[in-house]
Amino acid sequence: MQDLLNSALQAIENANNSNELKEIEIKYLGKKGLITEQLKTLKDLSEEDKRTTGKAIQEIKQKFLSAYQKKASQLEIEEINSKLTAEFFDITLPRLNKINHSKKGTIHPLNQLQQQVEEIFSDMGFEIADGPEVESEYYNFEALNIPSHHPARDMQDTFFIENKADPKHGELILRTHTSPVQIRTMELKGAPLRIIVPGRVFRYEATDATHDSTFNQVEGLLIDKNIGLADLKGIMEEFLSRLFEKDITVRFRPGYFPFVEPGLELDILWQKGKNGQSDKWLEFMGAGMVHPNVLKAGGIDPENNQGWAFGFGITRLAMIKYQIADIRQIHNSDLRFLKQF
Ligand code: DAH
pLDDT for 98 equals 66
State what percent of residues in the chain have pLDDT above 90.
74
Residue 290 CA: which ligand 1 atom is closest?
A: 13
Give 219 Cα–ligand 1 centroid separation in angstroms.
7
CA angle at 267 for the pair 264 and 270, rounded to the nearest 5°: 175
pLDDT for 105 equals 80
pLDDT in tens, 243-282: 999 999 999 999 999 999 999 999 999 999 999 999 999 9
pLDDT for 241 equals 97
Q: Is the pLDDT of residue 286 over 70?
A: yes
Average pLDDT over residues 310-322: 93
Cβ(253)–Cβ(264) under 8 Å?
Answer: yes
Residue nearest (by alpha carbon) to ligand 1 atom 7:
286
Average pLDDT over residues 79-100: 83
Longest distance between any two alpha carbons in the chain, whole Å: 129
pTM above 0.85, yes or no: no
Supply the mean pLDDT for the chain. Answer: 92
Distance CA(335)–CA(341), nearest Å, equals 10
Q: Is the pLDDT of residue 56 over 80?
A: yes
Cβ(259)–Cβ(290) under 8 Å?
Answer: yes
Topology (CATH level 3) of domain 109-338: BirA Bifunctional Protein; domain 2 (3.30.930)
Cβ(106)–Cβ(339) under 8 Å?
Answer: yes
How far is C-alpha 183 from the geometric centre of its chain's CA atoms?
25
Q: Is the pLDDT of residue 101 over 70?
A: no
pLDDT for 100 equals 64
Calculate the alpha carbon distances from 101 to 91, 96, 98, 104, 339 in Å: 18, 10, 9, 6, 12
Residue nearest (by alpha carbon) to ligand 1 atom 8:
311
**Domain spans of the chain?**
2-86, 109-338
Give 206 Cα–ligand 1 centroid separation in angstroms.
21
pLDDT in tens, 185-215: 999 999 999 999 999 999 998 899 988 999 9
DSSP of 194-247: EEEEEEEEE-----BTTB-SEEEEEEEEEEESS--HHHHHHHHHHHHHHHHTS-
Give 119 Cα–ligand 1 centroid separation in angstroms.
21
Average pLDDT over residues 145-169: 85
Q: Is the pLDDT of residue 15 over 90?
A: yes
